[in-house]
Structure 1
Amino acid sequence: MTWILFTLFAAFMQSWRNAFQSHLSGNVKTAGVTLARFLWASPIAALYLATLYFIEPIPSPNFSSLFITYIVGAATMQIVATALMVRLFKFNNYAVGAGLAKSEALVAALLGMLFFGTQLTLLGWIGVFVGGVGVFLLSTQGSFRQISLPTVILGISCGSAFALTSLWVREASIALGLPFPYGAAWVLLLVISLQTLILVSYLVVTDVNTLKALFARPKIVFLTSFTSCLGSIGWFSAMSLQAVPYVKTLGQVEIFFTMLISIMWLKQKVRIKDGFGLILVALAAILVMWG
């Protein structure tokens, strides 16, 4: 049951990372807030991997072309997913934005059905319907008749990008063929390092002022990177042990951490309808997995 502990830890850390990113998004552009997730994470990931090898050395891994493909795909898609998440913060309040991205679990289940032979029962399809109702509730602005289509599209796109990231991360860990948790640690270090290189290069060429804005806020940026890296250690480790849909289903407890942080730290109000929608999204993922 090690994967359960890693998943719960990851969900808790990700809730704080999202909160820090939401706070940062009020002063920094989307690309900068996305970079804040990775900027100081590489040294932490490298230290984690070095500690594992110090405790118990193992042979060096063999990076196959398939493994590299998974790494590049996961790194790129997670950048896209994080950028979409930051955009969600601007469409609605923090808790609702994070809740919309929780379509990730449902999308992962559907992709598993389409490409990995997973079959959905009637209970599973009911879960998909419940998830749609949850997204509908979250996307309405004060009235059920005022549906925000851009928010729905953005939320589902964000969840889909995160789902692809998770599926490719698991495939990369398996392709490496190392014992737990070394494979997950290597995948984490390589994915984060590539993401940092891509985003820093992009901002150096297109928007140096955003980089300056990040370095002008060292505390919040470090907290974002720190909680992000710890959360990723949890996610990557759990997904190397268990199938992605199961991990993401249990990870829905993040929604409740998110609501508590939103109310207690960010001082935001969550409407009853929004809270009900968040619960439906979590319930939908559970129904899909049970189905």
Structure 2
Amino acid sequence: MLWAVFTIIAAAAQTARNAMQRELTVTLGTVGATHVRFLFGFPFALIFLAGVCIVTASGLPTPSLEYWPWIAIGIVGQIVATALMLAAMSDSSFVVTTAYIKTEPVQTAVFGLVLLGDRLTPMLALAIVVATAGVVIVAMKPGAAKANGLRPAVKGIVAGGLFGLSAIGFRGAILSLNIPDQFVLASTFTLAVSLVIQAALLSGYLLLREPAVLRAIFRAWRPSMFAGFMGAFASQFWFLGFSIAAAASVRTLALIEVLFAQGVSKFAFKQKTSLREVIGIAMIIGGVALLIWAH
């Protein structure tokens, strides 16, 4: 059950990072706030990798050709998903956007079955359905469609699908290193590779297209540093979870992030919790309990 511990830590850290990025969107815009997690995250990933190599007295793994298509799926999917997530958060509330995105587990289960052959037992499938249904209930805010249109919902759901696809890509990359007895090294190496490439790609884009945004990012280095660290920290534990459990299981347990988001929404953004949201949250908890039982 180590994967469950990793997932809970990752979900808590990601909630903190998302809240910080939401605030940065106001000053840096969607692309700028998206870039923060990569530009200020990759140095921490390199530190994590160096620490793992020193502690385990291991050298860096040698990726095969199979590794690079998987890592490309993870990298591109995560960049686009993060941008869509932040754009959706600008259109809707923090907790509702998080709920839309968390339709991800069902999509992840399908991607995992098709691309990696990750099969689910009937109990696991039920857990995913129950927990995801709870998320949908939380997301179905009365009047939200009229007030904001369908754009936040579409952006959130598509972002969830892309996050699911990126999870499959990163899990495929980790598994392709073929060092299951060194899953911590495989996970940390893949994290470092992905963040370095993502930081380089987005830095190049901003340098050519929006250099003012790049300058604004560096001026906001203090909150950006925190968001970058929390992003790298969360990703470290996501990757550890992916290395030893199916991505669908990890992303279903990750639905507890909705509970963390509810807390952030209530105490940081002063948004109230309705009875409908309480019912949805209860279903999420029930689905997570089924998931743990199934494992």
Q: TM-score, normalised by structure 2?
A: 0.88
AA paired with 1:14?
A: Q
Aligned residue in 1 for 2:53: 53
| Pairing 1:149–2:124 present | no
| Pairing 1:221–2:212 present | no
Query: CA offset at residue 277 of structure 1?
Result: 4.2
1:268 alignment partner, SS class: coil
After the TM superposition, which of the residue ranges 277-286 and 153-162 deviates more from structure 2?
277-286
Query: CA offset at residue 256 of structure 1?
Result: 0.9
Instruction: State percent identity of aligned pairs.
Output: 26
After the TM superposition, which of the residue ranges 233-242 and 124-133 deviates more from structure 2?
124-133
After the TM superposition, which of the residue ranges 168-177 and 1-10 deviates more from structure 2?
1-10
AA paired with 1:223?
A: F
Aligned residue in 2 for 1:235: 238
AA paired with 2:173?
A: A
Aligned residue in 2 for 1:83: 83
| Pairing 1:73–2:73 present | yes
In structure 2, what is the Cα distance between the partners aligned to 1:50 and 1:147?
A: 46
1:60 alignment partner, SS class: coil
Q: Structure 1's 282 and 160: CA in aligned 2 closer, same or farther, altered over 3 A?
A: farther
Aligned residue in 1 for 2:186: 183
In structure 1, what is the Cα distance between the partners aligned to 2:85 and 2:243?
A: 24
After the TM superposition, which of the residue ranges 141-150 and 12-21 deviates more from structure 2?
141-150
1:188–1:232 CA contact under 8 A, matched in 2: yes
Query: CA offset at residue 70 of structure 1?
Result: 1.1
Aligned residue in 1 for 2:22: 22
RMSD value, Cα:
2.8
Aligned residue in 1 for 2:164: 163
Q: Structure 1's 144 and 130: CA in aligned 2 closer, same or farther, altered over 3 A?
A: farther
In structure 2, what is the Cα distance between the partners aligned to 1:107 and 1:286?
A: 20
For structure 2, list consecutive stretches of 5 or more residues without a partner in the other structure. none
AA paired with 1:191?
A: S
1:37 alignment partner, SS class: helix
Matches within 5 A, 1:135-146: 135=136, 138-142=139-143
Q: Structure 1's 156 and 288: CA in aligned 2 closer, same or farther, altered over 3 A?
A: farther
Query: CA offset at residue 173 of structure 1?
Result: 0.6
Q: TM-score, normalised by structure 1?
A: 0.89
AA paired with 1:173?
A: I
AA paired with 2:7?
A: T
2:131–2:252 CA contact under 8 A, matched in 1: no
In structure 1, what is the Cα distance between the partners aligned to 2:161 and 2:220?
A: 31
In structure 1, what is the Cα distance between the partners aligned to 2:50 and 2:38?
A: 19
After the TM superposition, which of the residue ranges 142-151 and 153-162 deviates more from structure 2?
142-151
Aligned residues: 291
1:139–1:151 CA contact under 8 A, matched in 2: no
1:167–1:244 CA contact under 8 A, matched in 2: yes
